Structure 1
Amino acid sequence: MRVLLTGSSGWLGRFLAPALQAAGHTVTGLDLAPGPETQVLGSVADRRVVDRAMGLGIDAVVHTAALHKPDIVRYPVQAFIDVNVTGTLNLLEAAKAAGHDRFVMTSTTSLMISEALRKNEGRREETPEAVWLDEQTGPLAPRNIYGVTKLAAEGLCRLHAAEHGLATVVLRTARFFPEDDDTLSQPSGENLKAIELLHRRLTVEDAAAAHVQALAKAPALGFGLYIVSASPPFTRADAAALKADAAALIRARFPDAETLFAARGWQLPKSLGRVYDPGLAERELGFRCHTDFAAVLQALRTGAPLPFAHDPDYSSPLARNR
């Protein structure tokens, strides 16, 4: 299949383009920033750019391009609407006009977190249990323009599937960025990423693989919206224990975890306030992340490289080219 990949110069795009090619697809990359996987330079917010890319002979779209949360300090609200909402609409309409039978869009679990939920995560007396988040969670009240526009883009995908028969899969991906968290300082760096693989992270390689699987499965699904995150080693029944004493529960599931962490100068979390549940993606999409928390511990035991990327100096090509 000839696939138009938007966001081809970004962190996900640089892994997703080769993954699509390995699956037998021919990839045309579209991005504002130049990159080795990008053939069309321009914005998805510009319908002329989208039409020019479609004119190269495209059978399906994988849409990863977006302004993200770190971009909030660099771009006005209108830019988020232009790229995340209008850009998605441009691609959907172009795909419909071209007679495509599938469309895949990257969304985010971030849009599921309201400001109230985020603030209350650390207050044990207000939220005595970790919040278990799945595709039925709602009503949704995204806390920033990034989440608001991605939720609107999801709605456009759902509408085009229902009204125009364009089979569409939306992937609400958990965290896979390589840089440090822009709000949390403790624990920092690799320690935080290792912890997040328990409940709110996946590797960029797994994110790419999920998109390849979604592209293959879309026509059979019609419309699908899925959380994609490393499978947590917990169940809903653990919600209270995760909030009260996450470290104790982790020690019970992984007896050597604390010792392995301590040898690297890391700490286990005292409390976890949320868990993303990827069960629906595993059941319907047939996708399960390859890398999980157990893989981190195995790397620590054997001295192998950590199974996730960490680059505190990373910045997106878009940010570097501003």
Structure 2
Amino acid sequence: MRVLLTGSSGWLGRFLAPMLRGAGHHVTGLDVAPGTDTQVLGSVADRALVERVFADHGIEAVIHAGGLHKPDIVRYPAQTFVDVNVAGTLNLLECAKAAGHDRFVFTSTTSLMISQAIRDEASDAAVWLDETSGPIEPRNIYGVTKLAAEGLCRIAALEHGLATIVLRTSRFFPEDDDTHAVPSGENLKANELLHRRLTVEDAARAHLAALERAPAVGHSVFVISAPTPFGREDCAELKRDAAAVIARSFPEAASLYAARGWTLPASIGRVYDAGLAERVLGFRCATDFAAVLAALRDGGPLPFAHDPAYVSPKERGGDGPVLA
């Protein structure tokens, strides 16, 4: 298929574009920043540009992975989030409908599921999060606009029969977390593979699976995260003594961590359950916490990317574009 990939110069796009080509698809990349896999420079908020891309490149399917993200809150006003994340998604959906497409994949985020109460971790048990969780109460403009875009995908399916797959991906960014200082870096990323992270390679594979399965599935929302070793029955203990729960599944974790100078989480406040994607899309992340321990045990490279110096391509060279 001739696939339009938005966000083609971004962290996900640089892995997804070659993966799509490897599966036999012809990829047209659209991004505000130049990149190896970006053929068209511009914003999804520019309706005329989107229409030209569809006409000039014979687009047959869309993977909409571009947009503004949580770190962009300090760089862009709320209106820009609405223009890019909401109006931009609508532009793509309407062009896909006009072109008679049968599939559309949208990159969303588990962040929109995190209310302020969940963020504060005030509960006496970890919160188990899957596609049925709610009410959905995003705590910032990023989450609000992503949820609105999800709604546009749902309406496109209901009113026009366009198969729309929404992937709520958990964390896969390579840079350091801007909200957690201890532990930091690789230690934090390793811990998060237990309950709220996946690798960028797995995120890309999930999009490929969604593209292939979309017509058979219709419309659906999927949480995409590394498989967790925990169950709902562990939630109370995870909040109280996460290390004890981890030790039951991974008895050597504490010693392997100690040898590296790392710390296991003392408490876990939320767990993402990606089981629906496995059951319906047939997709399961290849990398999990066990892979981290195997790397520590064998002295091999860690199975995830960590780059404290990473800067989004759209932000390089100054203040970045007006629209992303």
- Same fold, TM-score > 0.5, yes or no: yes
1:58 lines up with 2:54 in the alignment: no
1:196 lines up with 2:192 in the alignment: yes
What is the root-mean-square deviation of aligned Cα atoms in Å?
A: 0.6
1:309 lines up with 2:310 in the alignment: no
Post-superposition offset of 1:85: 0.1
Deviations 1:275-304 (A, max 9, x none): 000010010111000000000000001011
AA of the residue aligned to 2:16:
L
Aligned match of 1:252: 248
Post-superposition offset of 1:115: 1.1
Post-superposition offset of 1:18: 0.6
1:272 corresponds to which of 268, 274, 283:
268
Post-superposition offset of 1:224: 1.2
AA of the residue aligned to 1:7:
G
Aligned match of 1:183: 179
Deviant stretches of 4+, over 3 Å: none
Post-superposition offset of 1:93: 0.1
AA of the residue aligned to 2:63:
V
Aligned match of 1:33: 33
Aligned match of 2:97: 96
Aligned match of 1:163: 159
Distance 2:118 2:208 in 1: 32
2:314 corresponds to which of 300, 315, 318:
318
Aligned match of 2:134: 138
Distance 2:246 2:134 in 1: 28
AA of the residue aligned to 1:89:
L
Distance 1:180 1:49 in 2: 34
1:48 lines up with 2:44 in the alignment: no
Distance 1:66 1:199 in 2: 25
SS in 2 for 1:305: coil
AA of the residue aligned to 1:160:
A
SS in 2 for 1:275: strand
SS in 1 for 2:12: helix
SS in 2 for 1:143: coil
Deviations 1:210-237 (A, max 9, x none): 0000000000011011000000001001
AA of the residue aligned to 1:50:
V
Distance 1:316 1:136 in 2: 32
Distance 2:23 2:108 in 1: 22
Distance 1:282 1:53 in 2: 33
SS in 2 for 1:284: helix
Distance 1:305 1:250 in 2: 22
Post-superposition offset of 1:252: 1.7
Q: TM-score, normalised by structure 1?
A: 0.98
Post-superposition offset of 1:248: 1.0
Post-superposition offset of 1:173: 0.1
1:209 corresponds to which of 196, 205, 211:
205
Deviations 1:76-113 (A, max 9, x none): 00000000000000000000000111000000000000
Distance 1:227 1:313 in 2: 28
Q: Which runs of 5 or more residues in structure 2 are unaligned? A: none
AA of the residue aligned to 2:235:
A
1:294 lines up with 2:290 in the alignment: yes
Identical aligned pairs, as a percentage?
73
Q: TM-score, normalised by structure 2?
A: 0.97
Post-superposition offset of 1:128: 1.4
Distance 1:309 1:48 in 2: 37
Distance 1:52 1:151 in 2: 27
AA of the residue aligned to 2:210:
A
AA of the residue aligned to 2:184:
S
Post-superposition offset of 1:241: 1.0
AA of the residue aligned to 1:229:
S
Distance 1:90 1:240 in 2: 44
1:147 lines up with 2:148 in the alignment: no
Aligned match of 2:20: 20
Post-superposition offset of 1:320: 1.0
Distance 1:128 1:205 in 2: 34
Distance 1:249 1:222 in 2: 38
AA of the residue aligned to 2:53:
A
1:74 lines up with 2:75 in the alignment: yes
AA of the residue aligned to 2:291:
A
Q: Which runs of 5 or more residues in structure 1 are unaligned? A: none
